[in-house]
Amino acid sequence: MKTVGSEYIGNGRCRFTVWAPGKKKMMLRLVHPEEQEIEMDCAEWGYFSAEIEPASPDIRYYYKPDGKKEYPDPASHYQPEGVHGPSEVVDHGAYTWRDTSWKNLPFQDLVLYELHVGTFTPEGTFEAIIPRLDALKETGINAIELMPVAQFPGSRNWGYDGVFPYAVQNSYGGPNGLKKLVDACHAKGIAVYLDVVYNHLGPEGNYFEEYGPYFSEKYSTPWGKAINYDGAHSDGVREYFANNTLYWLEYYHIDGLRLDAIHTIFDQSAVSFWELLQNKIQALAEQMGRSFYLIAESDLNNPRVVKKTEVGGFGFDAQWLDDFHHSLYVLLDKDGLQFYEDFGKMEQFSKALTDGFVHSGEYVKFRKKSFGTSSASVPGNHFIAFAQNHDQIGNRPEGDRLSVLVDFERLKLAAAAVFLSPYIPMLFMGEEYGEDNPFLYFVSHSDKDLIKAVQKGRKEEFADYKFRGALPDPQDEDTFQRSKLGWGKRKEGKHQKLLNWHKALIQLRRSNSVLQNFNKADVEAQTLEQDGLVLMRQNHNHTESLICLFNLSENEISYTLPNTRTHWSKVLNSKERQWLQEQGNMEFSAAEQLAKGEMLTLPPWSVLVYQTRL
């Protein structure tokens, strides 16, 4: 394995390694604490290296390819002065970890919580998250998923414009800040997942092509040229990104990664990048005695993503299930059809609950072709279900959360659909209490031409959509400030009630054996015309059953209980007084016990759950 970047070996020694095939020489320029220039040794495969002594961990440096212009290290571990400044050596051995007994949580037990470090707290840092962990744990959340923290331009960004995949964002608190957060999470029994971007790099501060052929002209992506995973000199590129995965596991004790848009990673190699990645991860995980999980964002609707690499799969433990979101959201908000024209039928939501992929070979208007294949045989714990995420909110013109698009009763329905589903549940920060501040798209570039291009692109993207006011300017700091959570709301009125609803759902999921069964063979769904749906689930040995009744309409609907079991006991009723937004709202008292074959009525926009045991 070729390790790139700087490595503080200890005892006053530091090693620097950079991959730059095609360069005749490479100079290492030290700028702090003293200025010095050193010619690096050229090894095989285009790697240059140098070892210096005496050296301190706070050395700042640049590289000069062919001895010409200086650039930061593409594998920098820290950029304290931003994307254009010098790289800094990090002594990873200096941090004393307290999580030595931590072995990670079983994947099927996770309740994921996606958060953006910059807008999660007023301070917008890793360490500012730590005092909030108790509130998350009390809610039932046991895994946070950080949006990308790789160094990006300025201090405001979603993170997908990162240009230093190994460097932790300086404005968030840098390497030590992230380590302190992970340590604190593990102390409270919370796993930490990290969103990483291996399909593209941001435009500003992207100096990769000054070093080598990191990009390919053979493929294109929505962000420009694709990463070179299978062309000439791709060995160094594959090592760079595959080793990045190990870096987060080893140096930051991260429990798993979510890989952005893997459908834009192109590789026709005999040994795929995914196989290379899995082999490296398995070896290190065994060495460290810890489990490590990978989650994919995939637009392929192909079960191959979560199949083992030994049988030609990509080897991911799970993938985000966008079809679940789309099919549910359009039923809750009819205006959603302008975003998701191929959804809107109750049968599609039913299929999302029982199969996973809604589009499994049908013709899809949005794509202008037949699309996808069936995932009915894939166990539910290979999918992540959600009613919101950063993309679904932030890629709306005004960053509208579900809480401002639909009423309180529908918010409860959305939460119930996620936590009663046979999938791994995920919340987006603030969703648990119905945060109504927007989550907008924001940047803080310094390149004026790039700023104008981003502003123009945003306007063109939403040219056909009607929205209330002026389109928020991504570069304006106010756009970023408006996106911060209002933490005080979670203790007030309807927000507190929604928070308690989420707590109840999570507790039910944890305590009920039926909801811990991810076998699709034990999941059935039946539509009640276009007004509602019945989700039926069983535990592993079929001694317990749940029947989850959803009314997703303005009409009352009736349902007759099956004759298969004798007695049914009420578990959950979204129309009980404790779950109503205001005391004056219409309460519905469902029977505590029902007999087989008995008919019940569901009020509009409600969910009822009954259980039976042998």
Count up the domains in the chain and report the number: 3
Same domain membership, residue 452 and residue 329: yes
Tens-place pLDDT, residues 507-518: 999 999 999 999
Same domain membership, residue 460 and residue 532: no
Same domain membership, residue 316 and residue 264: yes
Domain residues for 354?
Answer: 107-198+237-502
Q: 183, 210, 255, 260: which is the annotated catalytic residue?
A: 260
> In DSSP terms, which residues pair with 47 in a beta bridge?
19
Residue 231 lies in a domain: no
Residue 284 lies in a domain: yes
The CATH number linked to 22 is 2.60.40.10
Residue 281 lies in a domain: yes
From first CA to last CA, the distance across the chain in angstroms is 56
**Which of 36, 60, 92 is a domain's end point?**
92
Q: Of 53-62, 93-102, 138-147, 458-467, which gets the smallest average pLDDT?
A: 458-467
Which residue type sits at 559? Y
User: What is the Cα–Cα distance from 209 to 462, expressed in whole angstroms?
Assistant: 32
CB 319 within 8 A of CB 297: yes
Q: Taking the model in full, what pTM does it have?
A: 0.97
Residue 340 lies in a domain: yes
Q: Is 297 a catalytic residue?
A: yes
Residue 229 lies in a domain: no
Which residue type sits at 383? F
User: What is the Cα–Cα distance from 459 to 107, expressed in whole angstroms?
Assistant: 40
Same domain membership, residue 494 and residue 546: no
The CATH number linked to 186 is 3.20.20.80
Q: For the residues 112-140, what does the mean pLDDT come to?
A: 98
Highest mean pLDDT out of 253-257, 288-292, 471-475: 253-257
Residue 203 lies in a domain: no
Same domain membership, residue 87 and residue 118: no
Q: 183, 195, 297, 400: which is the annotated catalytic residue?
A: 297
Give me the pLDDT at residue 2, please. Answer: 56
Q: Is 592 a catalytic residue?
A: no
Q: For the residues 330-344, what does the mean pLDDT come to?
A: 93
Kindly report the backbone phi and psi dihedral angles of residue 546, in degrees, each rounded to the nearest multiple of 5, phi listed first: -120, 140
In the block, tokens 């957060």 appear at 181
Same domain membership, residue 440 and residue 320: yes
Strands of 321-421, DSSP E: 363-364, 369-370, 383-385
Residue 209 lies in a domain: no
Q: For the residues 469-495, what does the mean pLDDT come to?
A: 94
**Which of 502, 533, 552 is a domain's end point?**
502
User: What is the Cα–Cα distance from 225 to 211, expressed in whole angstroms?
Assistant: 16
Give me the pLDDT at residue 584, please. Answer: 58
Instruction: Tell me the average pLDDT of the chain.
Output: 95
DSSP one-letter code for 525: E
